[in-house]
Amino acid sequence: MFALPDSWVWDFWTVDDGEQYHLFFLFASRALHDPGARHYRAGVGHAVSSDLVHWTRVQDAIVHGEPGEFDDLATWTGSITRHPDGTWLMFYTGASLAPSGSNMQRIGLATSPDLLTWTKQGLVVEADPRWYEQLDGGWHDWAFRDPWVLPDPDGDGWHMLITARGNTGPVDERGVVGHAWSPDLRQWEARPPLSEVGQGFGQLEVMVNVEIEGRTFLLFNCLGGDVSDARKGSTAGGTWAAKAASPLGPYDIAGARVISPPGLYVGRLVQLRDTGEWKFLAFVNETPEGGFGGTIIDPLPVALVDDEIVVG
């Protein structure tokens, strides 16, 4: 288990540099007392491990920006990829407050030569109102966050999958796979979403593609309170797996299944370098006593059974 004595940890992403596994995680001080306050105090920490079990914390990666910058409130979830020139690129969510007081989310970039020292490069993409809800759709924030970057299957640049909401349809079913494209990992343009509204989710958080034994899945996260009214009461939510025709869709979001054990959230599948085995990591969102956990579990085994992902 990865736990900090003085801070809660929650959303995270991992990188394998060929020698070590790197864990980048959101954290906030337990001195806040209220775990709900952590979101507006989040920084991005960093730890390393050789086995996904024993972790050593190293220097923090990034913290919120200066007043007026797109990330002046907090730095939230992201992902890391490597540029062909060897530079490590962290795409991350910057949170700020709109004049109305609503939370506004945009995507920024930080770069590193070694995964240890990071330099912010600024804002790279934000929600385009032609396709995406902003602050007037009846939701509690301007959702455009959690970037996941992958190369185009045909070599045509790079794609970014983003937690976003469409600008039409029932408020509780506007969660979509937001989309942006880049020719070079530096310049980005927002594009129409890769999924339709009306799939049963208010939001699809922290998305990631995974291919297991030739089967492609889109993993995303949604708690029971953020599913559509039609789904409420039938699930506590968690990490969901949707079958996909390709990394860029189509995705069977309406047919997605929860794969995470109770109480866990933001599940990630990590493939072990030496054995090829898949492991499941997640943070403890709710303890058996009903409190917020704020720790990351030791890895659980993963299997593909009847074309479905099974954890544990």
What are the sequence ranges of the domains in the chain? 7-311
CATH number attached to the domain at 7-311: 2.115.10.20
In this prediction, the residues of the chain whose per-residue pLDDT falls under 70 are: 136-137
CA–CA dist 218, 240 (Å, integer): 8
What does the pLDDT read at residue 262?
A: 97
**pTM exceeds 0.75, yes or no:** yes
- DSSP assignment of the chain, as one string? -B--SSEEEEEEEEEE-SS-EEEEEEEEEGGG--GGGGGGG-EEEEEEESSSSSEEEEEEEE----TTSTTSSEEEEEEEEE-TTS-EEEEEEEEEE-TTS-EEEEEEEEEESSSSS-EEEEEEE---TTTB--SSSSSSEE-EEEEEEEE-TTSS-EEEEEEEEBSSS-GGG-EEEEEEEESSSSS-EEE--SS-S-SSBS--EEEEEEEETTEEEEEEEEEGGGB-TTTTTS--EEEEEEEESSTT--B--TT-EE-SPTTEEEEEEEE-TTT--EEEEEEESS-TTSS----BPPPEEEEEETTEEEE-
Cβ–Cβ under 8 Å, residues 265 and 285: yes
> Which residues are paired to 21 by β-bridges?
16, 49
What does the pLDDT read at residue 102?
A: 83
For 92-141, what is each residue's pLDDT tens digit?
999 999 887 789 999 999 999 999 999 999 999 999 999 999 876 678 88
What does the pLDDT read at residue 72?
A: 97
Sequence length of the chain is: 312
What does the pLDDT read at residue 235?
A: 84
CA–CA dist 246, 212 (Å, integer): 12
What does the pLDDT read at residue 137?
A: 63
